[in-house]
Amino acid sequence: MSDIRPIRNEDICLWPDDTWCYFEDLEEYLWMSDDFEVIPCDSTRWNEIVNG
């Protein structure tokens, strides 16, 4: 069983086409599909996406 944590505004929403935004900005991306993945802000993957 995995731990469940609340989504934070700093988490990233990542779409299959590599478009991403911070969760707090998601309402500005309503034209995008709803098939995004939420990347936790405390993960290595988040750091790779944000910092390249």
Confirm whether 5 is domain-assigned. Answer: no
Indicate the SS3 state at residue 29: helix
**Does any domain span residue 45?**
yes
| Structural domain span for residue 18 | 12-51
The total of structural domains in the chain comes to 1
Query: If DSSP codes are grouped into helix, strand and coil, which group holds residue 2?
Result: coil
What average pLDDT does this structure show over 3-32? 95
Local confidence band at 13 (pLDDT 50, 70, 90 cut-offs): very high
For a pLDDT cut of 90, what percent of the chain falls above it? 88
Q: Which of 20, 21, 19, 24 is nearest to 8 (CA)?
A: 24
In a domain? residue 40: yes
- Both structure tokens of 11: 């988490």
Contact residues for 35 (Cβ-Cβ < 8 A; gap 6+): 15, 16
What residues does 39 pair with on adjacent strands? 12
- 1 in a domain, yes or no? no
Q: Is there a domain that residue 28 lies in?
A: yes
3 state SS of 50: helix
